[in-house]
């Protein structure tokens, strides 16, 4: 069993950071919607408040790490240009997708959308984290602030979902492969 | 530009909402910039070349770096102006959400290609 370095980075970016962000997002949406609602009668302890502050800051860090690894580590491998005359485009995912009318859409719609929409995620969640760190439990008495934080967090969830979906489909149709081969274990 | 944001009475907690409003509007502006710069780079060879900050990633590096810089600068300026004030958040929220919605739409290639 082995994996290439590029494949491993793609896994870390998508299955590690990206998927973890999506999971974390669902948790924070429920917490902000239920516990910080002006109608909620559930008391908020300083410990709960601190937990959510740390949680949101960690989510923002996760979002930044995800887009930065995507843009500066994986994307250059994806868009690498094959030398003239190259027949096997396996190491050049963008060119491989563009070489067939059956797969070009995964690049022209999927990657083109993913590479830009993903950047709405760190911007939105950093805002949400900053507002929550400043206002904390006071969001209950500031329903408009809470509503904006919820809307931006929900949009970040949607944008991360779009990026994640197309990321998975791109890997399925034209995986980013190459680099050092890492042996995970030896078979029987 | 110098026109102050409309003020409203402070909330029951007494914490001015200006700082939050600044973060919200700046996030809307930053998101919108991602979409606008992506369209600009797609339509103009000069802009595309100008935004090619890091060759292996192409214009995406410049589009996102510039949008993030605009976002942070807008956030800094708005926070500096609104920090100690309570502003009419309804209109600011509406504007920020319109910008965010437009960002989602304008990054969608079939819509971006209309420009």
In the predicted model, residues of chain A with pLDDT beneath 50 are: none
Q: Which of B109, B110, B114, B115 has the highest number of chain A CBs within 10 A, making it the mutation to test binding with A? A: B109
Looking at chain B, the whole-number percentage of residues with pLDDT higher than 70 is 89
Query: Does the pLDDT at position B90 exceed 70?
Result: yes
Q: Which residue of B has its CA nearest to A142?
A: B11
- Note whether B27 contacts A79, CB cutoff 8 Å: no
Asked if A118 and A159 touch (Cβ cutoff 8 Å), the reply is yes
Closest-CA distance, B62 to chain A, in angstroms, reads 11
Q: pLDDT tens digits, residue range B23-59? A: 999 999 999 999 999 999 999 999 999 999 999 999 9
pLDDT at A76: 96
Segments making up each domain of chain B, as ranges: 24-112
- Note whether B23 contacts A155, CB cutoff 8 Å: no
Mean pLDDT of the region B14-25: 94
**Rounded Cα distance, B38 and B106, in Å:** 9
**Rounded Cα distance, B56 and B67, in Å:** 19
- Note whether A116 contacts B58, CB cutoff 8 Å: no
DSSP string, A35-67: TTSTT--S---HHHHHHHHHHHHHHHHHHHHHH
For residues B12 and B49, the model is more confident at: B49
**Rounded Cα distance, B56 and B74, in Å:** 29
pLDDT at B13: 55
pLDDT at B69: 98
Q: Which residue of A has its CA nearest to B34?
A: A116
Mean pLDDT score across all residues of chain B: 91
- Note whether B13 contacts A138, CB cutoff 8 Å: yes
Q: pLDDT tens digits, residue range B72-83? A: 999 999 999 999
Asked if A121 and A66 touch (Cβ cutoff 8 Å), the reply is yes
Query: Which segments of chain A are extended strands (E)?
Result: 2-4, 181-183
**Cβ-Cβ contacts under 8 Å, A126 against chain B:** 27
Query: Could you give the ipTM of this predicted complex?
Result: 0.91
pLDDT at A177: 86
Q: Which of A6, A144, A156, A158 has the highest number of chain B CBs within 10 A, making it the mutation to test binding with B? A: A144
**Cβ-Cβ contacts under 8 Å, A127 against chain B:** 23-24, 26-27
The residues, any chain, with a CB within 8 Å of residue A77's CB and separated by 6 or more, are: A6, A93, A176, A178
pLDDT at B9: 45
Asked if B114 and B57 touch (Cβ cutoff 8 Å), the reply is no
Q: pLDDT tens digits, residue range A8-24? A: 999 999 999 999 999 99
Query: Does the pLDDT at position B8 exceed 70?
Result: no
Query: Does the pLDDT at position B103 exceed 60?
Result: yes
Which residues pair with residue B87 across a beta bridge? B7
Q: Which residue of A has its CA nearest to B39?
A: A116
pLDDT at B43: 94
Residue A47 has which token pair?
């410990």
- Note whether B20 contacts A126, CB cutoff 8 Å: no
| Residue B14 Ramachandran class (φ > 0 left, ψ -120 to 50 alpha, else beta) | left
């Amino acid at each position: 069993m082995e994996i290439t370095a590029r494949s491993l980075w793609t896994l870390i970016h998508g299955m590690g950071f990206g998927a973890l962000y999506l999971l974390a997002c669902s948790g924070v949406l429920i917490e902000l919607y239920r516990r910080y609602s002006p109608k909620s009668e559930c008391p908020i302890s300083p410990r709960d408040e601190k937990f959510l502050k740390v949680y949101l800051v960690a989510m923002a860090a996760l979002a930044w790490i995800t887009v930065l690894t995507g843009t500066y580590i994986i994307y250059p491998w994806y868009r690498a240009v094959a030398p003239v005359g190259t027949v096997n485009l396996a190491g050049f995912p963008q060119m491989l997708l563009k070489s067939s009318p059956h797969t070009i859409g995964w690049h022209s719609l999927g990657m083109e959308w993913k590479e830009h929409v993903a950047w709405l995620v760190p911007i939105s969640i950093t805002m949400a984290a900053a507002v929550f760190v400043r206002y904390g439990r006071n969001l209950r008495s500031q329903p408009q602030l809470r509503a904006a934080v919820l809307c931006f967090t929900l949009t970040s969830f949607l944008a991360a979902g779009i990026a994640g979906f197309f990321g998975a489909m791109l890997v399925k149709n034209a995986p980013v492969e190459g680099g050092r081969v890492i042996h995970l274990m030896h078979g029987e | 530009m110098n026109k102050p944001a409309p003020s409203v009475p402070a909330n029951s907690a007494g914490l001015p909402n200006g700082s939050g409003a600044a973060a919200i509007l700046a996030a809307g502006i930053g998101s919108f910039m991602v979409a606008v710069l992506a369209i600009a780079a797609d339509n103009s060879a000069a802009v595309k070349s100008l935004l090619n900050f890091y060759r292996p990633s192409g214009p995406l590096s410049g589009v996102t770096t510039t949008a993030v810089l605009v976002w942070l600068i807008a956030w800094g300026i708005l926070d500096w102006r609104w920090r100690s004030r309570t502003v009419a958040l309804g209109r600011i929220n509406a504007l920020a959400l319109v910008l965010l919605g437009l960002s989602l739409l304008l990054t969608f290639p079939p819509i971006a290609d209309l420009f």
